[in-house]
Structure 1
């Protein structure tokens, strides 16, 4: 947009189709109006995802993507000099002078301001003995950040009153992930150092962030992205969620972090294997994380996110320009292939994925068969080349400017499990961030063990399959197989009806069940309940019902419901409970899948046509004919010929993780085992 423009016109905005009304709303929202607007363009792909989570978090007064860094200074003068240098860096880069506007607009837009003064706030902290000044300072920072105001960067400073000389200061430098990635913070601090040391002349001309936005949105068509992801992810039906943790909207408050250096000897052997196979270390670590993802989900083709740098194709001096260039996209790895095959295919997949590194994650999600609102994956692998002193923290560049140090730096994502691999060029460091109830130390141990065993498997050239690589070390394996599994108890080899009939014989007059209240109250003793269930069981057996048969029961909560459940297992069959409040389509689908021999119901509970076409006998309890037959049936316990504890007791249909009902069979021995555990655990 021309610097002397007094009115904005749609022709000045080349990357977005805006109306004059849109531009008027933008001008009204920006301090200084038209004269302070340098450019307008859409969000890059990862910015779109972060923006989505920002809006979700803002509703709950939080934002996981506000990234804090705390610095220490040995004087107030150094603080002021740093802030002055930081403002000059903001003035240099359009991404640091950017606000995001979306209200009453057809799409979220980045608006670059010509001037964006830093927001600096000084606070006084009240510290008690043992208090952490860094934590107190972060708590004193504003709770949120208004991304509609540029820069998306703020500074909070305080004097460290506990310092003996009284001259130490702390600064919380917070930036929003919409404007930076890990490398961008390093670039920003390096430019601040250059200004502090009057070396700004060595800084390269900044790359306009609009060029990256244009490239990321236009270089590869949405249809090409869609075709690729349909091939890779089209048959995915359930999320890959380690430990079953599905929440991708957390605020990171329950996040634990574990950092581990890979042993130098293992790192050397690892590089030898990657050279032998002609692949990158990145391919190796993606294969290793695929093994852990498979082990913690039970899936053979796990999907997880991989972080793509995005700077290589951004052109010009993007590698020295702050901004958000990375993207997170899914990779799917077959854990049933051999290690040699796996390295080759992962290397090829990563190369192929690079052609789509600027695709929106939402597009990849859309081509799957996942239920709506289900995440495609909940774990992230971030492989990054780092300096020799690499860590999850960021270090100040080599500087003569002593008296400034980084005390704390934090990066979080909305994913509950993130694994970062820092490749120092010699060794490797793992940083695992895991949200409770996951344990970052446990996950880091699984990953480290998988890496070491993967190296051994490749060295031995045994043709080992990936899902056979051990992820548990000897101590963990012993704990899982023996420690946690030391639960052996003497449990009777019997069935549920056998247990009930024995109880009825012991306490025939004791109350077995009570239903309702007042005049509607109905109570049955064990003898009465046993007798009613026996009559219905004999009727079912007369119809041919026996062991391993399935009988559906669709009744409202009532005495008849309990009688029917008990009668089915007394007949030796398994019951299939159907909730009368479920939609008839779901009931019909369950019956069609389970194909029971009979359906127990009433004339008012289900449609007479339910289950038609599957050869199912209907036992309608309020039918006078059925009532008449029941009254003549024996009340003696039936003889269940050939009925064994391993036979099914019931089948329960659950939605599972796919949204489609799945039948789960529970055997009598499982029910009896649980009852025995309850007796022991509850002291019954």
Structure 2
């Protein structure tokens, strides 16, 4: 049965009735648990092996002679098979353990540890693959990590791959010349094209609102923003097209991040005025050719409370970048307020270097392989989802809509995680399968294409950069033949893993290859 442990997670618990001779030399019972777990581990997938084994003299029964599940006792510590720490062995296991520790935020990783049980998920798996390729010269397919998530087993498969093909040299992303015209990345090229179709659009703004409580050193705050602006060339990029062909130009590092200041102290309509300023900020377009494509507004509500509005154009930033920006802004402000120097290490490369590398790297055989995957996967895919909406689909996209909040509480989240562990999926894959089932039921279609964002940060060098890296993956989910939950989860898992292994091809190129009806 599945039972909740002390941390609130659901664990699979086995109840075992055995004679007195079983484990007679085992004073605390943990030896029996270890023996049973090892026995079943050789015959069952890891997610089906119970975490705890409770020894009973007899199963509790109801007055009708049926199993009394409520009478089953909770497992104590001795019921769990303790996986004793075993240090990594050899260079590959050691390198793998160091990468896991850094990515998963744990102090110590042993050779018997499981990547997903330690908190791993799809995004961290992609980062693991990237770092591993640079550390030992092996490109790790995500399917191999899911098949062998235990460190020692994964290391053995890597050693086998190395013995078969040897280490592979991956081209590094190097800093390039700033004396030559700078190219747009594929993602930037897509947004620049859309901006030409709809000048003055605000659909691709990334807004951020911070409420700052306590005394604010406005000089240190502005200095932090200016330093951030100087540090990341992506934020200083503008996009010019003198002959219809776009190129990137970078504003001077000392030009500063523009910030408007507003003082609403003492105003009786301060909250209404704040709302007006938020709306005004959201409705103000960017000029891609002049820039800057990031701007701020500092609104003083009182001496001890400010609201800071920061707006970026998506062509220079994305969701991951917000995390980098907030972390570095916090570190800079703390240092400058205390009178210290800039604490951030210099960046080895910048976003324009990535854009140039991307166009060189995604070519030849690699480009053909990725293109062929998407051509095969999306061949004959439905052009649209026939949802029973109240209004007809407009001829032109308007972005007019609303949001519907969906609350997934702690109990449901624990249940979803338990289901994911049982079927060897990540939480994302499980929720994606559920979403596909809902869309299939509403539309009556069993062939669905669902667009999902991908961080697309598969290289260690670009993890600390601000810029537009995100890609869109078209996941085609097959619900034909009335699959069971288990079958649908397996199909969704295969679809998600294959798409993530081919996520380098930009979405606009996928569209050009597949040529769906527009």
Q: With structure 1 as the length reference, what TM-score do the two structures score?
A: 0.43
Q: Deviations for 1:579-614, whole angstroms, at most 9, x for unmatched residues?
A: xxxxxxxxxxxxxxxxxxxxxxxxxxxxxxxxxxxx
CA contact (8 A) 2:328 2:344 kept: no
DSSP 3-state at the match of 2:191:
helix
Alpha-carbon separation, structure 1, partners of 2:215 and 2:393: 46
Aligned residues of 1:73 and 1:169 also touching (Cα < 8 A): yes
Aligned to 1:499: none
CA–CA separation in structure 2 for the residues paired with 1:64 and 1:148: 17
Question: Relative to total residues, which structure has the larger strand share, 1 or 2?
Answer: 1
- What does residue range 287-302 of structure 1 map to in structure 2 within 5 Å? 287-302=433-448
Matches within 5 A, 1:151-166: 151-160=292-301, 163=302
Deviation at 1:356, TM superposition (A): 2.5
Query: Which structure 2 residues correspond to residues 184-583 of structure 1 after superposition, within 5 A?
Result: 184-198=321-335, 200-203=342-345, 205=347, 207-221=349-363, 222-240=367-385, 242-243=387-388, 246=393, 250=397, 252=399, 254-311=400-457, 313-316=458-461, 318-336=462-480, 337-368=483-514, 370-371=516-517, 374=518
Distance in 2 (alpha carbons) for counterparts of 1:103 and 1:43: 15
Q: Distance in 1 between matches of 2:441 and 2:289?
A: 43
Which of residues 144, 149, 172 is equivalent to 2:309? 172
1:44 to 185, 198, 203: 185
Tell me the distance in 1 between the aligned counterparts of 2:439 and 2:451: 11
Q: Deviations over 1:373-400 (max 9, x none)?
A: x2xxxxxxxxxxxxxxxxxxxxxxxxxx
Residue 246 (structure 1) shift: 4.6
Does the residue aligned with 1:350 lie in a helix, a strand or coil?
Answer: helix
Q: Report deviation, 1:283.
A: 1.6
Q: 3-state SS of the aligned residue for 2:463? A: helix
In the other structure, the counterpart of 2:237 is 98
Check conservation: 1:180, 1:324, Cα contact below 8 A.
yes
Distance in structure 2 (CA, Å) of the matches to 1:349 and 1:94: 36
Cα distance between partner residues in 2 of 1:197 and 1:249: 47
**Number of aligned residue pairs:** 327
CA distance in 2, matches of 1:297, 1:83: 51
SS at match of 1:110: strand
C-alpha distance in structure 2 between counterparts of 1:360 and 1:282, whole Å:
21
Shift of 1:82: 1.5
Residue 289 (structure 1) shift: 1.7
Tell me which of the two structures has the higher relative contact order, counting C-alpha pairs closer than 8 angstroms and 6 or more residues apart.
Answer: 2
Measured at CA, do residues 40 and 246 of structure 1 come closer, stay the same or move farther in structure 2, by a change above 3 Å? Answer: farther
CA deviations over 1:531-553 (Å, ceiling 9, x no partner): xxxxxxxxxxxxxxxxxxxxxxx
Change (3 A) 1:69 1:132: farther
Q: In structure 1, what is the equivalent of residue 84 of structure 2?
A: none
Q: Which runs of 5+ in 1 are unaligned?
A: 1-35, 375-684
1:117 alignment counterpart: 256
Shift, 1:47, TM fit? 2.5
Distance 1:249 1:358 in 2: 29
- Relative to structure 1, the CA distance from residue 210 to residue 333 in structure 2 (aligned partners, 3 Å threshold; closer, same or farther) is same
CA distance in 2, matches of 1:121, 1:299: 51
Is the contact made by 2:278 and 2:309 (CA closer than 8 Å) also made in structure 1? yes
SS at match of 1:52: helix
Deviation, 1:94, is: 1.5
Evaluate the alpha carbon distance shift between residue 49 and residue 248 of structure 1 in structure 2; reply closer, same or farther with a 3 A threshold: farther
Report the Cα distance in structure 2 between the residues aligned to 1:264 and 1:158, rounded to whole angstroms: 36
**8 Å Cα contact 1:302/1:334 also seen in 2:** yes
* Structure 1 residue 69 displacement after superposition: 1.9
What TM-score results when the alignment is normalised by the length of structure 2?
0.56
Is the 8 Å Cα contact of residues 216 and 359 (structure 1) preserved in structure 2? no
Confirm or deny: 8 A CA contact 1:71 1:171 kept in the other structure: yes
Q: What is the CA deviation profile of residues 222-248 of structure 1, one whole-angstrom value per residue up to 9, with x for unaligned ones?
A: 433331122111212522364467559
Q: Alpha-carbon deviations, 1:319-364, whole Å to 9, x = none?
A: 2222122101211100123332322232222222223313232332
